Structure 1
C-alpha cells in the first residue's frame, strides 16, 4: 500500500518523507488556502516546492469545471514537474478531461468519488487514480469502507490499472481497514500515519529494556 499525505504544509510533508514511508502528496484548493497560498503563480511555486521534497505523485487540483478550461489548467499544472498528477472532479466534463489528458500521457486523479459507478467511469476514461471519500460517506451514515471494497472488486474483475486511492481517511482504523480490503493508496493527515507507531506494550517494553540495561550497567 502507498501512503500519501493530504496537506500543503511543507513541514509536515518533509517530516513524513523523513520517516521513510511517504509515496506521495494530495492537495486541494482548501489545503492551499489553509497555508495562506494565494494567486496562480504562488500556488504553482508551492506545488514545485512540494515536488522538490517527494519522489513522486503530487496531486494538484484544477479549479475549472468545464472541459476546455480543465484541459488548459491541467496541462499547465503538468508542466510544473513530472511528479504532478492532475486532480479532476467527477463530473461529465471531468471524465472527458481525464480521457484527453490520459491520451497526452498526463496522469490524473479523479476526485470526489462517492459511488462504484463513478469509479467505473473514471477507470474507463483512463484515470491513474480514483479518490473515494470514505470519511465524508461515514458522516452521512453510509459505509465508506464498503465503497472501497466494491471498487477494488470491480477493478479486479476487469483488470483496470486505475489505482484506488482512499481519501478522507481520518484515523488509524480507517487506514488499517483500507489495507485489509485492498486499497492501493491511502491519503491522510500526518498524525494518522504517525499514530501507527503507537502501542502501549511497545512503550512499556522499551521502558523495561532500558531499566534492565541501567541495572546491569550500574
Structure 2
C-alpha cells in the first residue's frame, strides 16, 4: 500500500514524514492557493524534503486540451517524477491521451462516477482518483 498526503502545506508534510512512510504528496489548485506560495517553490521544497524518487501529483489549471498539454509539459520539464492530475472531462481526456503518447504520467481526477472512470481508461491514464461522498 502507498500513502499519499493531500496538501500543499510543506510544514504539514514535514510533520508527517517523521512518523509515516509517505509515498508522495498530491496537490490541487485550491490547496496551493491556501498556502499562498508559488507552486514551483512548493514543489522544490517538497522535492528537497522527500527526495527525487518520491512522486508528486500536481493538478493543472488550464481548461483547453492544448493549454493543458502545454502546462503539463512545462511542469514535467521543471520538476522530476511528477504525475500530472487532469480532470476527466472531454478536454481532459484529450489532454491525457496526448500526454500519455509523450510518456508523461497522468492521473485522472475529479472522477465522480464509474462512467468517467471508464472513459478515462480509454484516454489511457493509468491512475484515477475517484471522489466519493461519505454515507
Task: Report the Cα distance in structure 2 between the residues aligned to 1:122 and 1:48, rounded to whole angstroms.
Answer: 29
What residue number does 2:122 align with? 124
Counterparts in 2 of 1:13-52, with a 5 A limit?
Answer: 13-37=13-37, 42-52=38-48
| Structure 1 runs (4+) greater than 6 angstroms displaced | none
SS at match of 1:2: coil
Q: Report deviation, 1:125.
A: 1.6
Secondary structure class of the residue paired with 1:71: helix
Post-superposition offset of 1:10: 0.7
CA distance in 1, matches of 2:48, 2:82: 11
Classify the secondary structure of the residue corresponding to 2:125.
coil
| Equivalent position SS for 1:59 | strand
TM-score (norm 1): 0.58
In the alignment, the residues of structure 2 paired with residue 14 and residue 62 of structure 1 have an alpha-carbon distance, to the nearest angstrom, of 24
Aligned residue-pair number: 133
Aligned Cα root-mean-square deviation (Å): 1.4
Structure 2: gaps (5+ residues): none
C-alpha distance after superposition, 1:52-111 (max 9, x if no partner): 222422111111111110010010111122221111111101011111111111111111
Correspondences of 1:95-114 after superposition (within 5 Å): 95-114=93-112
SS at match of 1:79: helix
Report if the CA contact (8 A) 1:99-1:127 is conserved: yes
Preserved contact between residue 47 and residue 80 of structure 1 (Cα < 8 Å):
no
Q: TM-score, normalised by structure 2?
A: 0.90
Distance in 2 separating the partners of 1:16 and 1:4: 10
Larger Rg: 1
Alignment partners' CA distance in 2, 1:77 and 1:83: 10
Task: Specify every segment of 5 or more residues in structure 1 that has no aligned partner in the other structure, as ranges.
Answer: 144-218
Cα offsets for 1:138-180 (capped at 9, x unmatched): 3xxxx5xxxxxxxxxxxxxxxxxxxxxxxxxxxxxxxxxxxxx
Q: CA separation in 2, counterparts of 1:116 and 1:81?
A: 32
Higher helix share: 1
Task: Show the counterpart of 1:164.
Answer: none
